[in-house]
Structure 1
Amino acid sequence: MQLITDKENTKLRKAELVEIVKLDPTIKLDIRYATNNNFLRRKIYKTSKVFLQKPVAEALVKVNNKIKNDGYSLLIYDGYRPWSVTKIFWEEIASEKRKFVADPKKGSMHNRGCAVDLTLYDLNTGTPIDMPCDYDTFSEEAYPNYNGGMDLQRKNRDYLIKVMKEEGFTVHPNEWWHYDYKDCKLYLILDLTFEELLVKVN
């Protein structure tokens, strides 16, 4: 395991990454970075799994249980992300789009296993609900305060922001789908591959 931190901090919590679907198999996954359907147009991950710090995963299960009463469930695009992948994103994205990706010098909350990219799907149809834009659309439509588009799209986005906030998540200022969990900075930045991680959690 490779740890990358700005400095040593004895108050940091020990990593306890868990696979989200093992806590709640009704949560769906659409891991775009394990396919060619992403902004880099190539496969970045070798596995279509989502790992998160245990408190983060448990909070998501609470969200998922709550929204089922409204006919929805969670669809996750990404969770823990190795630091080396964040570096790839930063180096390959156009400079004017860098506000949508993390600077590897600082690391990402994804690298700590404390950030999640997600949306909602309709329990009746099994399809994602309509939002102002698709995942990883790097434009103003992605902003959580974007006022364009259709009323229903903004209503769906605002509903997601609300239910996530109730369980300790904060929406990213540039991405309606990206949520950071409280206490994120209490965890180390990791560069553990998914293959290494699978060995540790199984």
Structure 2
Amino acid sequence: MTQEVELVDLTARFPQLEIDLKYATADNLTGYAIYQDARCLLHPDAAKALARSVEIARLAGLALVVYDAYRPQLAQQHLWLACPDPQYVVAVTLGSNHSRGTAIDVTLRDEAGQLLDMGAAFDEMHPRSRLWSPEVAAAAQRNRLLLNAIMHGGGFVGIHSEWWHFELPDAVRYPLLRDRFSCASLPATTTVQPI
């Protein structure tokens, strides 16, 4: 069931926030641009939490970098085709919390302008991407802890399998949203899954 809600445009709401929408580029697990429009949107409740996290990061001399926020349901189908593993990608039939506008993918940049080393790349679907991984060096693990604390302070919770993913604690209670912008077409041989 979809419901109309006015999503917050993060570019307008947070002009200082660095946004690097990975799914609007080929720099993601599919290897191609999924989003035809580079729009970074969030549910108003998640945008309020993000405002707190942005401020906490600023107080620590850091800045958040956003990799993804609201995700059209069609985009989730692209990701499922690229990685049909529920450990890393939510099945299309369940619907991602990104498609509810209540999840965001982020990392941190330091005062010198460098991205903090997280020990694994964004969209690296591998056990080393887990929030607490013995395969990650101590310095990168500390950076993950720092990111987790900043996002938790704003009101988000992380997930076990991806260091970069955060969502509202009650994200699943929000309805899936209709697609708000265009995505690449699915391959002609793909059966569209009902959502």
Superposition TM-score, scaled by structure 1 size: 0.84
Give yes or no for the alignment of 1:78 onto 2:68: yes
Counterparts of 2:20 and 2:88, CA distance in 1: 20
Q: Give the superposition deviation at 1:101.
A: 0.5
Counterparts in 2 of 1:1-202, with a 5 A limit?
3-4=1-2, 15-93=5-83, 95=84, 97-122=85-110, 124-194=111-181
Give me the CA root mean square deviation. Answer: 1.7
* Alpha-carbon distance in 1 for matches of 2:113, 2:11: 17
Corresponding residue pairs, total: 182
Partner Cα distance (2:155, 2:4) in 1: 20
- Cα offset, 1:14, TM superposition: 5.6
Q: Structure 1: 5+ residue runs without aligned partners?
A: 5-12, 196-202
SS for the counterpart of 1:166 is helix
| Partner Cα separation in structure 2 for residue 136 and residue 17 of structure 1 | 24
Give the TM-score, by structure 2 length. 0.86
Structure with the higher fraction of residues in strand conformation: 1
Contact 2:21 2:38 in 1 (8 A): yes
Alignment partner of 1:134: what SS?
coil
Which has the larger share of helix?
1
Cα displacement (A) at 1:111: 0.6
Q: Percent identical across equivalent pairs?
A: 29
Contact 1:26–1:73 (8 Å) recurs in 2: no
Match of 1:8 in 2: none
Q: Which amino acid aligns with 1:90?
A: W
Q: Which runs of 4+ in 1 moved over 4 A?
A: none
